[in-house]
Amino acid sequence: MCIFCKIVAGEIPSKKAYEDDKVLAFYDINPLAPIHILVIPKEHIRSAAGINETNEALAGHMIAAAAKIANELGISDYRLISNIGPTAGQTVEHFHIHLIGGVDMSKRML
């Protein structure tokens, strides 16, 4: 089982930000900004590249969850980032969207 599947199963602890039947969101262990949360599908999908016409609703559900979390945290401005593949920076092979905010990122894209 991958590390994020273990978090879904409760075998590895996490600080939860949101949960429903399809997705889990938890605080990143190594935050890159004051707010850094990971939104993941409970089902194991390797990356956003594993999204196709049979499961595309799940990706929309993840973005909706991110919007809900941001709203609850009172932030209107934030970034959603998903790394696909090692040279793009993906270190965990379980689809996740980074929700990053709480800092002015307007002067830099990366």
Which of 1, 2, 9, 29: binder of ligand AMP (CB under 6 A)? 29
Rule CB under 5 A: which of 25-64 touch Zn ion?
44
Q: Does 106 bind ligand AMP (CB under 6 A)?
A: no
Rule CB under 6 A: which of 36-65 touch ligand AMP?
38
CB of 46 to ligand AMP, least distance (A): 11
d(CA 57, CA 55): 5
Q: What is the DSSP letter of 10?
A: T
Could you list the active site residues?
96
Which residues contribute to the site for ligand AMP (CB under 6 A)? 3, 12, 14, 26, 28-30, 38, 83, 89-92
